[in-house]
Amino acid sequence: MLIEAEAIQLGEFLALLEREEALLTAGDTDALLALTQDKNERYRRLQRLSDDRTLLLGRLGRVSSDATLRELLGDLPRVLARWDEVIKLARQASERNAINGKLILERMAHNQAALSVLLAAADQPALYDAEGHTRAVGGGRMLGSA
């Protein structure tokens, strides 16, 4: 049954989004890369299920909408309850995805600010030490060196 499969896939997708949030907060970019591949595959599965539902309803001469499904499932309370769960999970996934998007933007802004500071420090004029010799600001290694 498509609705059952959508509910299961959405639950698993939501779990991936929750894990993504934890990895974004921790800054674990290696794990994020692997998770992104899983998330994209799960999204493709969800899209196929949605496309299948739309195709099935189209064959019945119906539009794929919440109202259509509620009308068709009116005599099937357990299936209708599962559809309600699909709607709820989809809303939660959308909200979680928006939160993760904000976390990504915050991380990018932080990284850009840090990069700007480092680049500005690299462009500072040389200073003089107590013996009159020039030395770079920070006196440390060159950017990009080990």
What does the pLDDT read at residue 138?
52
In a domain, residue 143? The reply is no
Per the structure, the count of domains in the chain is 1
- Residue 19 is assigned to a structural domain of this protein: yes
Q: Domain for residue 39, yes or no? A: yes
Query: CA-to-CA distance for 37 and 129, rounded, in angstroms?
Result: 52
Per-position b or e across 19-35, b if 16+ CB within 10 A of its CB: ebeebbeeeeeeebeeb
The pLDDT assigned to 63 comes to 96
pLDDT the model gives residue 107 = 87
Q: Is 146 inside any structural domain?
A: no
Residue 116's pLDDT is what?
A: 82
Picking from 22, 141, 1, the residue whose alpha carbon sits closest to that of residue 85 is: 1
Helix 2-26 / helix 77-122 crossing angle, nearest 10 deg: 20
Which residue stretches of the chain have pLDDT < 70?
124-128, 134-146
Distance from C-alpha of 61 to C-alpha of 24, rounded to nearest angstrom: 44
In a domain, 142, yes or no: no
Instruction: Give the predicted TM-score (pTM) of the model.
Output: 0.76
Range of the domain at 69: 2-135
Q: Any idea what the CATH number is for the domain that residue 51 is in?
A: 1.20.58.300
Euclidean distance between CA atoms 21 and 95, whole angstroms: 12
* Under 8 Å between Cβ of 117 and 35: no
For residue 30, is it within any domain?
yes
Is residue 140 included in any domain, yes or no?
no
Assigned domain for 25 exists: yes
